Chains A and B, each alone.
Chain A
Amino acid sequence: MKVPWNPFDWNDRGPCIKVIVRHTDDEIRMGVGLDYPEPVAVTALLDTGAQTTIINSVLATTRKLTMTDANIPARGIGGRCFCDEYACSISFPESDLPPIPTTRILARKFEDENYACLIGRDIMKFWKLQFDGRAKCVIITP
């Protein structure tokens, strides 16, 4: 999969892919109920600085994901914060990347509305990634 990325353009948002974050396959098999919303694809930034993947908490609550931990400490350039954790499956539409049927994901409110998800190293560890600045792209190989 080839993802556009132009490091020579200050307005470039960074390498982004579409992801679908939804209930785990086991929850769907057990029947999470008709009240649960249909999954939607959202924009995710490939963030090599993120130790773990994190989504906007608005996405977690509107998708009605199952919370499995709370008040998890995290820190970044903006300082320290606390995140909740949810169980989910993650798939990658418009790509040949295999889905992750069950994983944990952190959630907190994002300031940046360009992304609903930051893909961290916990997911990137499954891929081969080539950041090619001269070719202005990132190549992701499963």
Chain B
Amino acid sequence: METATPLDAELRVFEANRERWSREHRGKFVVIQGDAILADFFDEYADAFRAGLARFGVGRSFLVKQIWRTEPVYFIA
């Protein structure tokens, strides 16, 4: 069951843009903190995380999310 998280605000921003981003930036990573969205989209998670650190610094989480139309489900067995 989904629970409230420190990234709820960022996830709401992501969901509000998911449809458009999945057309324009499918498979790329986006970085969001609060309402602030990095202008660039990234091919690699590591590059997106580094850009988030450079913009937002350490100490408060920011969302780094790969853009898909529907959320992938990981299989862990």
* Prevailing SS type, chain A contact patch: strand
Whether B49 contacts A24 by the Cβ 8 Å rule is yes
A66 contacts the other chain (Cβ, under 8 Å)? yes
Q: How many A-B residue pairs have CB under 8 A?
A: 94
B1 contacts the other chain (Cβ, under 8 Å)? yes
Interface size on B, residues (CB 8 A): 29
A37 contacts the other chain (Cβ, under 8 Å)? no
Q: Do A74 and B74 form a contact, CB below 8 Å, given A31-B58, A82-B1, A104-B64?
A: yes
B58: A residues at CB distance < 8 A: 27, 30-33, 66
Interface size on A, residues (CB 8 A): 37
- Tell me which of B7, B45, B53 contacts A70 (CB under 8 A): B7
Q: Can you list, as one digit per residue, whether each of A31-53 has a CB less than 8 Å from chain B (1) or not (0)? A: 11100000000000001011110
Residues of A within 8 A of B (CB): 24, 26-27, 30-33, 47, 49-52, 54, 66-77, 80, 82-84, 87, 101-104, 106, 118, 120
